[in-house]
Structure 1
């Protein structure tokens, strides 16, 4: 028997594995089933009323074999001798691009200016304890990118950009808990990400791809006739060439943006926002969102999302919260000496006594007029 259910349950039932399983068995009268698979498909907390509920979509297989929880199989072809593609940056975009290229029969060569995920820890300790910033190895740069040591939320505002489920399954195949497949706001956590990132790198290497750390790109190799980018030159003068180049360098690689502009590679500015990061007691957010003094043993640390419109000097501005981290910490995220930049993060348990969030205001075209001479780099100059 295969059956799907939509359930609305109290937190102590929905969020306790044993209690949830027992409830489903009683609900369907399956006490006599010889084999039973109960699998959550979607889970979200509804705290709109004073009585907090959890909405759960679940599928049940009784006395029949359930299909695998994920369709994705961690099996890749050998691309050791296949045509190459150069990828600059070993953050999420670069790593997923490498895996996809392998699936399509191409050999990725991944170049990362920072260190591997384990070696990054020493540089993060230097930032926190000694206030020393390595411009190539910090909270933003290094294997896994910015999210590895500053949270690891899995969120997109658009489901039209590709197969989001497939991305989640790849993460599960490399060590993430299957809870990310059904949580409304999936989150891996800073403490869980490093081994997952290392396992993704191992998949790339075992398939015949290459990953090079401490390798900063200094110039591009451009085909003057086709205007295509065929490769890159690193700071030590080494050349890497292929069928093409994927720039997966992230938002803080300002030198790459400037290099693109200098070499005539078309770039355009995108909207962004600036602001501050604010911190509160997690108990305050819990009391506001859950309408209680103590959220108890089952409800997770509460989060929030705020947005409003305001007018300043006759100009309407959007003000909104960003990257809210329940049960988390504020961390120094500078990528160069002399900067004061912060970010937020949460461990997987989200059990810190504090919550934090960015609170930002959108930058309008008028704000960039004093920097118009910099063209598409005007926003960087404003920063």
Structure 2
């Protein structure tokens, strides 16, 4: 007999299988000796009461053999199959490639940046010397922005596709099976490079291609049909289907499309700062304790408030994390956050941003670069305010709200360094004022949050793409170019690793239908 039930256990018990059997046996009114195995289906932390507990959905096998775990997919060899070109090797591109193979098509993945191993050197140059390689950085390269910026797998995009299918691909390639059950699954920046490498090897072993330093500069279009792409080297590759999965920071791709008279549109995004606290402050607030227990992970938070009819919200929260310099070009400051798998750094950071709509930015309504140019201007202002070498402008939290430059800044995780400034000189007034109003309110919602021990680092500007590449809802093709499939975050159809991966799968399926 197999039965499912919900159980509640203490943090000390949450990985103790024998203890979980006893709790499940009580819930199912049977004896623990009859339970031959327990499979955790979902697991989450409930910190609403005085005592923090784990809530789990479990499957109990009662006098039944426990089945083996899922089997790794055997991908067919597609070396000589019909090609599909995929521009970008981020989550959307890699999952599109794997789905192409499942459908019997040969993916040719073109990535402007380097593989994960070579990328590390460019990231070291960014952190230590403030030197940005425009084609290899935190946003560009194998695995995309997610590889070196956390690997959070939480998503609300459950209606777009099978989230578990995506998670299983990650476990097939080396991720722990915890991601299949945790309410907020997370891989960790330290583990993602090996997993991404394994995914690339799967693609190549099945006859697909993954090419690095392969920057696409032209789409080959004839009579409104895609015929292939041209690389910066001058090489031309032919294919009747192209999946455009270039990420939200590939500004030159938007310029390429506009130059070729392929429709793109301005799109709303969000802009603000990254806020960092000592992790212990967040733990004390969320777990109602002086010291976090050893069986509890570093805590996260999610905050949102309406201020003057506009949402102000936390974004991409990283417990035990690090603030990273994520500029993709010279003379700009962009910050993001990441965490290792253990989330064992002493700080917690989160983007805290305000929605930016088209009407907020002056300009022509038909200008597709209206919000992108605005985004870039703020990033350049942040660079000037920091004084160069990717030093970021920063301010203590209460000083920010009360309008004074901080005398000094707290120790923080941003390696290139921070400079104390008045962030009012970097952020637009209407964003600055909403953040000033929101932060004390967040402090009322979460004890200890509103403190001068917290630092605001500017600017958090790459929350999503400020440009949308339109596509048909049914065919997923661009309305002007048959065989061109805009995909993922860069095209405006995803917001994170999981939703991007799902969109990659969906675009590969759409390409299969188109070619057949």
Q: TM-score range by the shorter chain?
A: over 0.9
| Offset of residue 337 of structure 1 | 1.6
Q: Are residues 253 and 372 of structure 1, via their aligned partners in 2, closer, same or farther at CA, if it must alter by over 3 Å?
A: same
Aligned match for 1:30, one of 29, 32, 40:
32
- Aligned positions of 1:132-147 closer than 5 A: 132-147=131-146
Are 1:64 and 2:57 an aligned pair? no
Aligned match for 2:283, one of 273, 282, 286:
286
- Does the Cα contact within 8 Å between 1:15 and 1:298 map onto a contact in 2? no
- Does the Cα contact within 8 Å between 1:221 and 1:230 map onto a contact in 2? yes
CA distances 1:89-144 after superposition (whole Å, capped 9, x unpaired): 00000000000000001000000000001111111111111111111111110001
Partners in 2 of 1:26 and 1:11 — Cα distance?
18
Are 1:270 and 2:267 an aligned pair? yes
Partners in 2 of 1:245 and 1:18 — Cα distance?
52
1:359 counterpart residue number = 352
Are 1:128 and 2:127 an aligned pair? yes
- Does the Cα contact within 8 Å between 1:113 and 1:214 map onto a contact in 2? yes
- Aligned positions of 1:154-169 closer than 5 A: 154-169=153-168
1:318 counterpart residue number = 311
- Aligned positions of 1:217-256 closer than 5 A: 217-223=216-222, 225=223, 227-256=224-253
Q: Secondary structure at the match of 1:126?
A: helix
Partners in 2 of 1:32 and 1:209 — Cα distance?
48
Count of matched residue pairs: 373
Partners in 2 of 1:239 and 1:21 — Cα distance?
60
Unaligned runs of 5+ in 1: none
Partners in 2 of 1:18 and 1:29 — Cα distance?
12
Q: Are residues 115 and 374 of structure 1, via their aligned partners in 2, closer, same or farther at CA, if it must alter by over 3 Å?
A: farther
- Does the Cα contact within 8 Å between 1:139 and 1:333 map onto a contact in 2? yes
Worse overlay, 256-265 or 88-97: 256-265
- Does the Cα contact within 8 Å between 1:371 and 1:381 map onto a contact in 2? no
Superposed CA RMSD? 1.7
- TM-score, normalised with respect to structure 2: 0.70
Are 1:381 and 2:373 an aligned pair? yes
- Does the Cα contact within 8 Å between 1:77 and 1:207 map onto a contact in 2? yes
Partners in 2 of 1:19 and 1:347 — Cα distance?
29
- Does the Cα contact within 8 Å between 2:154 and 2:183 map onto a contact in 1? no
Are 1:45 and 2:37 an aligned pair? no
Worse overlay, 156-165 or 298-307: 156-165
Are 1:3 and 2:3 an aligned pair? yes
- Does the Cα contact within 8 Å between 1:136 and 1:142 map onto a contact in 2? yes
Are 1:337 and 2:330 an aligned pair? yes
| Offset of residue 374 of structure 1 | 6.4
- Does the Cα contact within 8 Å between 1:13 and 1:23 map onto a contact in 2? no
Q: Are residues 222 and 310 of structure 1, via their aligned partners in 2, closer, same or farther at CA, if it must alter by over 3 Å?
A: same
- TM-score, normalised with respect to structure 1: 0.93
Q: Secondary structure at the match of 1:371?
A: coil
1:185 counterpart residue number = 184
- Does the Cα contact within 8 Å between 1:82 and 1:106 map onto a contact in 2? yes
Partners in 2 of 1:192 and 1:16 — Cα distance?
25
Large movers: runs of 4+ above 4 Å: 15-19, 21-28
- Does the Cα contact within 8 Å between 1:165 and 1:181 map onto a contact in 2? yes
- Does the Cα contact within 8 Å between 1:153 and 1:188 map onto a contact in 2? yes
Partners in 1 of 2:62 and 2:195 — Cα distance?
33
- Does the Cα contact within 8 Å between 2:5 and 2:57 map onto a contact in 1? yes
Worse overlay, 272-281 or 262-271: 262-271
- Does the Cα contact within 8 Å between 1:228 and 1:244 map onto a contact in 2? no
Q: Secondary structure at the match of 1:149?
A: coil
| Offset of residue 81 of structure 1 | 0.6
- Does the Cα contact within 8 Å between 1:334 and 1:342 map onto a contact in 2? yes
Partners in 2 of 1:272 and 1:25 — Cα distance?
49
Unaligned runs of 5+ in 2: 376-516
- Does the Cα contact within 8 Å between 1:371 and 1:382 map onto a contact in 2? no
| Offset of residue 25 of structure 1 | 6.4
Partners in 1 of 2:54 and 2:370 — Cα distance?
46
1:175 counterpart residue number = 174
Are 1:97 and 2:96 an aligned pair? yes
| Offset of residue 73 of structure 1 | 2.9
- Does the Cα contact within 8 Å between 1:277 and 1:343 map onto a contact in 2? yes
CA distances 1:296-336 after superposition (whole Å, capped 9, x unpaired): 1111111010111111xxxx211000000001111111111
Q: Which has the higher contact order (CA 8 A, sep 6+)?
A: 2
| Offset of residue 291 of structure 1 | 0.6
2:82 counterpart residue number = 83
